[in-house]
Structure 1
């Protein structure tokens, strides 16, 4: 049989942000409504600077099952930073045949940001106008590209440990997108001025603190996807209305929550529910304008399956595949 394969360039061409945001909203709602337990990701340490991750699962709403297989290793082009290389393999549940295979790095970078955008649309105050991004890598770029579709941001503040990197990214995206993007040297100021904050750094130690975050802010915790890296302090975790992408996964593998729980600041009940429940209208997201809300994104394979199904369908509609 001939198996359709989408390389990184094809993924970036077919996986448009508005369509992917809608696909993520539907996928997360379907995940929560299914009530079906999903396998947690498995991470195998290959070497001190290399991990191998396996994320299996299924999404009956789109008749798909499959897995993402990915390596996480240092990028030789960017010392100190890592890359996710691998594939998403999607099967048709009705026949068991492989539907398609897609480049995992490109899918992950876009679908993660689009899932964050959908969560932000559900949890941030409607009048939110200033976005702060903590980090200046690939996820910083895709998050800026995605979140502009759910709020009319007047300002985007970009902070990272390297002012050179954040300045270059801010200048490039400002020119390309026609947005006001400012590289910041002061993380505390960036946080204090923001209505929405995204941490996308994967930092081993906190780079965002409760004392910096104003009431009414929505915070997306994205950069840490396994036990270990902690992007925010425990006081911020404890202060926010905390909503998971997938509750069992977050309880087992969300590093910031684990640290706060070990310190006795929160229990498992601090995770009030899943973003899919908010999308479905069965869980209140933001209860009050002055409330801090937190969306914890570990990432889930249903997001990959939904993104791949969407781009595969777009490819068929455009005659790119038979």
Structure 2
């Protein structure tokens, strides 16, 4: 293990520029949607359920990834323990292992928590960049959810858009107020009020029942459905999903794992990477929805960016 870089969450936070990350994720999404020509091998994740005494449980997964085009060999390992919220412990814990693709040696262990916090909104920002018709206009942003992903989505979208107003809703008003104060937004006591006249709506909850209803959403709005985990999750009214033009980062994963897609029996128009690489034209509907499935490619290219920046800083000038 000599010579292996161990890059902590604090170092990742310092090294990972959101502007650079958005560009890297954009290129990764385009490569992914090119199939074999994109140079990627991304086997389906392997997951085991961890059963603890009582009703609580967790999941542990491993997600290998290789891209010959970008020279990346990596594996994300991580856990998801939904009951940790009530124990004031992290729901997600993960690391990304980076290997030398030529000789196979382990090069770095990169903390995955900050990467997950930032790569997810970076992918959403890429989607919004292509799906919003006129990026020069000020936008009203609505955040349904007030956790880490709500804050990081605000920061990422701010890199692309002139956000004139941001409204925050959470199941507890205390959380909404805290988040709103941090991002200079407005806390709302109902989700309906938060999304009123919003141009971009971000759902970042762990809900299994819809928190966003079709009748609340204005025509032309862009919905970034990010939260939820697994086929039982659901944040968006299925009627809203079905009436929207739907995009995702990975059709394969979305059709197997995303409850918003599965429960609505929705048709996916395109992967956002197909729009980025020009194989599919942008198509908008009365509303347009991007469902974030999440995949190890996004973690791997983010970890590679961190490692490259880390090495550049360590090299003598």
Asked if these proteins are the same fold (TM beyond 0.5), I'd say yes
Aligned mates of 1:29, 1:98 — CA distance in 2: 27
Larger mean CA deviation between 309-318 and 3-12 belongs to 309-318
CA shift, 1:134, in A, is 0.7
Matches within 5 A, 1:1-150: 1-35=2-36, 38-47=42-51, 48-74=56-82, 79=87, 83-126=91-134, 127=137, 129-150=139-160
CA shift, 1:213, in A, is 1.1
Deviation string for 1:276-312 (max 9, x for gaps)? 111112212244xx63111111111111111011111
CA shift, 1:80, in A, is 8.1
1:80–1:6 distance in 2 versus 1, CA, 3 Å? closer
Aligned mates of 2:274, 2:47 — CA distance in 1: 27
Is the 1:191–1:212 Cα contact (8 Å) retained in structure 2? yes
Larger mean CA deviation between 223-232 and 160-169 belongs to 223-232
Deviation string for 1:17-73 (max 9, x for gaps)? 101111110111111113366322233221233121222222223211222111112
Is the 2:57–2:83 Cα contact (8 Å) retained in structure 1? no
1:234 equivalent among 234, 238, 242: 238
Structure 1 gaps of 5+ residues are: 175-180
CA shift, 1:248, in A, is 0.8
**How many residues are treated as equivalent by the alignment?**
307
Is the 2:146–2:168 Cα contact (8 Å) retained in structure 1? yes
Q: TM-score, normalised by structure 1?
A: 0.89
Please name the residue that 1:177 is paired with: none
2:208 equivalent among 204, 209, 213: 204
Aligned mates of 1:320, 1:95 — CA distance in 2: 22
SS at match of 2:304: helix
CA shift, 1:79, in A, is 4.7
Structure 2 gaps of 5+ residues are: none
CA shift, 1:82, in A, is 5.2
1:320–1:46 distance in 2 versus 1, CA, 3 Å? farther
CA shift, 1:214, in A, is 1.2
